[in-house]
Chain A
Amino acid sequence: MNPPQHPFSVRPGAVHHREQPVFWLFRVATYFILACGAAVFLNIVVKGAGTVFKTEAPFINTTFLTEAPESLYIFEWEGKKMEMGDREFRAFKEQNPAAAKVKAESFVYSAGGIWPCIVGTVLLVVGSMTIALALGVCAAIYLNEYARDGAFIRFVRLAILNLAGVPSIVFGLFGFGMFVIFFGWNVSLLAGWFTLAFMVLPVVITASEESLKAVPKGFREGSLALGATKWQTIRKNVLPYALPGILTSSILGIARVAGETAPIMFTAAYVVRDKLPWEVEQLGDFFFQGVMALPYHIYVVSSKIPQNEYTERVQYGTAFVFLVIVALIATVSILLRNRLRNRYRW
């Protein structure tokens, strides 16, 4: 081997040999995760798009997006194979009395659409995030601005952090016991809101506290030194700057609230409901009605009914719409957050 030409020339050794494999390990791990995510995502998009979009105008399957689920009837008629939803089939039978005797196969939930589920999910997300943000920000303000740091407050923080690790089914059962039975709210929007809110509260509180902590102490001192009260200081000179951070955390919360099935299946979700949420007699009833929801609908159509090619269409279509809706809500929140963030910068 040649002697080194200059002091910085490469001397082969163990450290150098390890460099390449380590680099590849990290790279492969990253791309592997990416590939898995992409596979799931593409699968849903490709198969779901077949349900949601059509080849002829208006290219969007409006029935699927605007109607309630129905049973699908399949039968032979004058040598042709017919596919009809429940209502369509009944109208058809009235027009053609001969069809009354036709032997039709029926598949539940495989026709119609998922409009009530979309409405239900949006209502659940908006309501529970409102509650979670209101309660969570209050708690974070208390913990970070008012409470004296002592053993008890540290214990409260620890408890909140641990709450974040509680499985969602436990929150579901808690909501069922607390809101549905003990408070007597039955299976209702209100019970679902609070159950979901409690589920994301730990995340919202922790993140809100972090955002409040990130606001420099000088802003508080400067405000107080001008003769502001504590609440004036928080309201005018702390909270506005913390809000973008708080919203960032709640964006993650949105995806979770929208996606969880376990907390709502005992508290808010109906397998099927004919009426839309605003079809109530008085305003008060609005809060005490159950709703259909996208994740629960996916659960029902993929595991509670006999599987076949027709249910698969609904499953993928629903999952696809679900992804789009979560993305939409998150986009709106991100835009809102960015607007706030541009207003206050330090």
Chain B
Amino acid sequence: MESPSTASPTDRDKAANSSVRMGTASLPAGTDPSAPRSPASRTLIDIEHLDFFYGQTQALNDISLKIQDHKVTAFIGPSGCGKSTLLRCFNRMNDLIDGTRVPRGTIKIHGVDIYQPDVDVIELRKRVGMVFQKSNPFPKSIYENITYGLRLHGKTEKSKLDEIVEKSLRGAALWDEVKDRLHANGLGLSGGQQQRLCIARAIAVEPEVILMDEPCSALDPVATAKIEELIQELRSRFSIVIVTHNMQQAARVSDRTAFFYLGRLIEYADTRDIFTNPANPQTEAYVSGRFG
């Protein structure tokens, strides 16, 4: 397992600088990279006593969790335990569903509570990208898929866009496969390529965090392996939170793992500990495949 400190300082600086560039009034930019930091524990997303409701049904119950910067964090747990719900809180995608509410608790990103009314959701979502379970390339060309987010935010200069398209596709390990057909429809790609296109689309706007909700659940083993490799490459530039059903996957790609059960956080620790030496008997039962 790659250790977190392998993220080189230059890469970190790049990510931090990019967030300064996309600066916003309501969310402070990443902490100054030159400031001293304790390598293992810089908190990016700080969740405290979070409750979440779909109408009358409570989906999350008193979740407290610190997600660390430039690490891969995996959420595991049986179906319906609230992994996706929590993930979708981080970019407030749950706002789109009628009747959802967060009656108690806070989610802070860089110390700012993102559920405060003065937070601009648009700005938040630029900083917190998302890759969905069901790959959803837009029915436009590959090129237009990548530039979609950039155009929204006012980047229209052709040469700049070309450059970002190439960089993003390389970043998503897709460039070599599609460089000759950038103007072909994104839906003509295979399932795995489509999902990598969605990743490329997300990284094109240079977010700080990428949320992935079971990105491989619809893919075959070869495509899955490619995405996992890709996550290994992305980890140096982005913080990644990945929901997965597949425990081997969590073990392979993540630094930290959180185990959820029935809307509660049962255990959160280094991935190695969760899989080899879980503190909680429920976690032990789940990772050893006795339920779930």
Contacts and interface: CB of A to CB of B under 8 A. Distances in A.
Contact of B149 (A148, A220, A226): A226
B240 interface: no
A229 B125 CA distance: 10
A224 B96 contact: yes
A228 interface: yes
B138 interface: yes
Contacts of B139: 219, 241, 344-346
B109 interface: no
Interface in B96-142: 96, 98, 122-123, 125-126, 129-130, 132, 134, 136-140
Interface string A90-107: 000000000000000000
Given A218-B136, A224-B93, A345-B185, A229 B148 contact: no
B54 to A, nearest CB: 15
B201 interface: yes
B243 interface: no
B91 A228 contact: no
**What DSSP secondary structure best describes chain A's contact surface?**
helix
Among A149, A223, A225, A228, chain B packs the most CB atoms within 10 A around the CB of: A225
Contact of A237 (B93, B98, B138): B138
A346 B185 CA distance: 9
B241 interface: no
Nearest to A218: B136
A229 B91 CA distance: 14
A232 B205 CA distance: 16
16 contacts: A216-B136, A218-B134, A219-B136, A222-B136, A222-B137, A222-B201, A225-B91, A225-B93, A225-B125, A226-B149, A226-B201, A227-B125, A227-B153, A228-B122, A344-B140, A346-B187
Given A221-B93, A222-B198, A227 B149 contact: yes
A237 B152 CA distance: 11
B132 A229 contact: no
A236 B149 CA distance: 11
A229 B149 CA distance: 11
Contacts of A228: 122, 149, 152
Contact of A226 (B96, B129, B187): B129
Interface size class of B (residues with CB under 8 A): 20 to 34
Contacts of B125: 224-227
Contact of A222 (B132, B185, B187): B132
B98 A148 contact: yes
Nearest to B120: A227
B187 A223 contact: no
Given A148-B98, A345-B139, A226 B185 contact: no
Top 3 A-B pairs, shortest CB-CB distance: A218-B136, A226-B149, A227-B126
Nearest to A215: B139
Contacts of B137: 222
B136 A221 contact: yes
B76 interface: no
Given A219-B136, A224-B96, 17 more contacts: A149-B98, A218-B134, A221-B93, A221-B136, A222-B132, A222-B136, A222-B138, A222-B198, A223-B138, A224-B93, A226-B125, A226-B129, A227-B122, A227-B126, A229-B122, A237-B138, A346-B139
A133 to B, nearest CB: 22
Nearest to A345: B139
B202 interface: yes
Interface of B: 91, 93, 96, 98, 122-123, 125-126, 129-130, 132, 134, 136-140, 148-149, 152-153, 185, 187, 198, 201-202, 205
A288 to B, nearest CB: 43
A223 B122 contact: no
Contact of B152 (A148, A216, A218, A232): A232
A346 B187 CA distance: 7
A203 to B, nearest CB: 26
Contacts of B205: 226-227
Given A226-B126, A241-B139, A221 B96 contact: yes
A227 B132 contact: no
B142 to A, nearest CB: 14
Contacts of A218: 132, 134, 136
B242 to A, nearest CB: 15
Interface in A327-346: 344-346
A148 B100 CA distance: 13
Contact of B138 (A148, A149, A219): A219
Interface in A203-244: 216, 218-229, 232, 236-237, 241
A216 to B, nearest CB: 7
A225 to B, nearest CB: 4
Interface in A239-290: 241
A140 B130 CA distance: 29
B202 A226 contact: yes
A237 to B, nearest CB: 6
Interface in A130-181: 148-149
Among B91, B98, B125, B198, chain A packs the most CB atoms within 10 A around the CB of: B125
Contact of B129 (A148, A149, A225): A225
Contacts of A225: 91, 93, 125, 129-130, 132, 202
A294 B96 CA distance: 49
Nearest to A346: B139
Contacts of A236: 148, 152
A343 to B, nearest CB: 9
A227 B27 CA distance: 14
Contacts of A221: 93, 96, 132, 136
